[in-house]
Amino acid sequence: MARQTWGSRFGIIMAVAGSAIGLGNFLRFPVQAAGNGGGAFMIPYFISLLLLGIPLMWIEWTLGRYGGGFGHGTAPGIFHTMWQKNRFIKYFGIIGIFGPMVIFIYYTYIESWTLAYSYFSIKSAYWGCTDQSSMQAFLKAYQGLDGKGGCNFNPTAYFFFLITFIINLWVIYYGIRGGIEKLCKIALPVLFLIGIVITARVFMLGAPDAAQPAWNVKEGLGFLWNPQWQSLLSAKVWLAAAGQIFFTLSVGIGVILTYASYLKKKDDVVLSGLTSVSMNEMAEVVLGGSIVIPAAFAFFGPVGISEIAKSGAFNLGFVTMPVIFQKIPFGSLFGSLWFILLFIAGVTSSISLSQPVIAFLEDEFSLSRKKAVYILGIAAFILCQPAVLFLGKGVLNDLDFWGGTFCLVLFATIETLLFGWVFGMDKAWEEIHHGADLEVPKIYKFIIKYVTPVFLLIILGAWFYQEWIPTIFLSGVLPENKPYIIGIRLILLFLFMTLAVLVKIAWRKRKKELEARS
C-alpha cells in the first residue's frame, strides 16, 4: 500500500504551522512574557528560538523525510533507520508516539471549551457575569468544579467535548491531503484574518474609562513589552523562554517527524521549515502579544492586570476576555470571533497530535486508514475520560507535565544526539540540503552538533537534579488528589508498555517478511 503524500508545499507548510499555532500562542505566551520580565523576556526567547527552535525544526523535518523514504512515519522506525546496529533505539522512539497521545487526551477537552464559549458568546449566555469572580464561577460551573461531587461532570461540557472529539476524528479520517491539508489550507488564513480583526478592535479601545486616561492600550503594550532588565539574571526566565519555544513550535513531540515523512525526497525542508516557524512567530508575538494583555490593561489597569497575568492562561482567556466583551459594542460578535480563533488554533494542533498513532498503525501493521482511525478513536476516547471527569483532581496538570514537558525535552534530546552524533553531522548536513531552495548558514552545523544538545542536556539534567524525587513522590500534591494522580500514572505506564509491545510485534513481523522474501 503506497504511503500518502502532501498535495503541495503550501499544504505542508500550512499543516506544520497549524500544528505549531495553538492555544499557547494566544493564551500562554502573553502570560509568560508579562510574568517573566516583559520585553526582556524576548531576549532569551529569541536566543532559544535560534539555538533550539529552528535547529530542532530542521532536524525533525529532515529526519521525517529521511524515515519516510524507508516507509516509516513515526519515531521508532525513523530512529531504527538512523542506527540500525542498535536494536534498542526503536524503543526510545516510542516517546514520539506516547507524548502526542498523552497531550491529545487532555488537549481536546480544553479545545472543546473554546467551541462552547463561542456558542455562549453568540447566545450571550455569560452576559451578566460582569466581574472576574462571577465569570470565574461561570467557568467552574461549566467545568464541573462547583463542588457538587467528586466527579467533575457537566452534561453541557461533555456534549461540546463529544462534538470536538468527532471533528478531530472526521478530519484525520480523510487522510493527509483530503483531511489535514485541506483543513489547514482554509483554517490558517481564516485564523490570521480573525486575529487581525480582533487586534484592530483592541487598538481602537483607547482609554475605555475616562476617569483613568492612563488605562489604555498603548500603556498595556508597554506593560507587556517594557523590559525589566534585572529579570535576565534569573534562570527561571531563561527556562520559561526555552519552554515556550518548545511549546509553541511543537518541536520535540514527534508530530513534525510524522508530517515530514509524507514529503518526497527532493521536497525542500530548509525554507519550508523556516516559513512555518515564521508563521508561528507572527501568530504568537504579533497577534498573541497584541490582544489579551493590552485589552485587559485598558479595562483593569496596572494593578488588575498584574493579578490577572498571575492567575494563568485559562483565566485570562475564559474569564478576563468574556468580561471585557460585555463592555464593548458588538461584544457578543467579538467574543464569538475570539473563541472561534482559539478553536481553529486548537483543532489544527490536536489533529496533528493524533497523526503519529495513525501513521504507526498504517506503516508498521499495514492497516487501512479507516481501521487505524477506529482504533485510535476507541483508545483515545477511553483515555480522555480521566481528564474530563477528574479535572479538579490534578489529573490534567499531571498529564500536561508528562506529555507536554518531560517527554518533549527528553525526546528532543534523544533525536538531536542521534542526528548530530550517530547519524553523523556531515551526512546530516547533506540530507538537510537535498532539494533545498536555501542554504543553511554554516554556523548551524556547529549549533546543531554542539550547542543544541548541550542546551537540552543542561535543561534535562537540571530537572533531574532538582525535581525528579519530588515529582515521583508527589510532593506538594493534596492528599485527597494522590489516588487520582497515581491512577493516571498507572494508565500512562500501561499505555507506554502497550506501545512497546506493539513495536516489538511490528519489528518481529517485519523480520519475518524480510526472511520470507529472501
What pLDDT is attached to residue 179? Answer: 96
Q: Give the whole-angstrom CA distance, residue 57 versus residue 249.
A: 8
Q: Give the whole-angstrom CA distance, residue 210 versus residue 188.
A: 38
What pLDDT is attached to residue 147? Answer: 66
70 SS3 class: coil
pLDDT band at 234 (very low <50, low <70, confident <90, very high): confident
Q: What DSSP state is assigned to residue 367?
A: -
Q: What mean pLDDT comes out for the span 337-344?
A: 96
Alpha-helix runs per DSSP H in 366-481:
369-389, 395-401, 407-417, 425-432, 443-446, 452-472
Average pLDDT value over all residues in the chain: 91
**Is the pLDDT confidence value at 251 over 80?**
yes
Q: What DSSP state is assigned to residue 254?
A: S
| Phi then psi dihedrals of residue 414, to 5 deg | -60, -50
38 SS3 class: strand
Closest CA to 52 of 433, 452, 337, 349: 452
**What cell numbers appear for 417 in the block?**
544526539
Query: If 0-12 CB within 10 Å is exposed, 13-18 middle and 19+ buried, where does residue 465 land?
Result: exposed
Answer yes or no: are the C-beta atoms of 20 and 353 closer than 8 Å. Answer: no
Q: Give the whole-angstrom CA distance, residue 399 versus residue 465.
A: 21
Give the pLDDT confidence of 355-403 residue by residue, as tens digits: 999 999 999 999 999 999 999 999 999 999 999 999 889 899 899 889 8
Question: Any idea of the CA torsion for 334, 335, 336, 338, to the nearest 10 degrees?
Answer: 80
**Is the pLDDT confidence value at 292 over 80?**
yes
Closest CA to 276 of 48, 56, 65, 18: 18
Helix (H) or strand (E) holding 517: helix 482-517
pLDDT band at 476 (very low <50, low <70, confident <90, very high): confident
Answer yes or no: are the C-beta atoms of 184 and 174 closer than 8 Å. Answer: no
Answer yes or no: are the C-beta atoms of 491 and 386 closer than 8 Å. Answer: yes
Length of the chain: 518
Would you put residue 330 in left (φ > 0), alpha (ψ -120 to 50) or beta? left
Domains in the chain: boundaries: 9-517
pLDDT band at 466 (very low <50, low <70, confident <90, very high): confident
State the CB neighbour count (10 A cutoff) for residue 446: 12
Q: Which residues pair with 38 in a beta bridge?
A: 227
Answer yes or no: are the C-beta atoms of 252 and 75 closer than 8 Å. Answer: no
227 SS3 class: strand
CATH number of this structure's domain 9-517? 1.20.1740
Q: Give the whole-angstrom CA distance, residue 306 versus residue 223.
A: 9
Q: Give the whole-angstrom CA distance, residue 236 versus residue 37.
A: 11
Closest CA to 347 of 160, 100, 114, 122: 114
Give the pLDDT confidence of 56-101 residue by residue, as tens digits: 999 999 999 999 999 999 999 999 999 988 989 999 999 999 999 9
pLDDT band at 183 (very low <50, low <70, confident <90, very high): very high
What pLDDT is attached to residue 125? Answer: 94
What pLDDT is attached to residue 1? Answer: 61
Q: Which residue type sits at 137?
A: A
pLDDT band at 459 (very low <50, low <70, confident <90, very high): confident
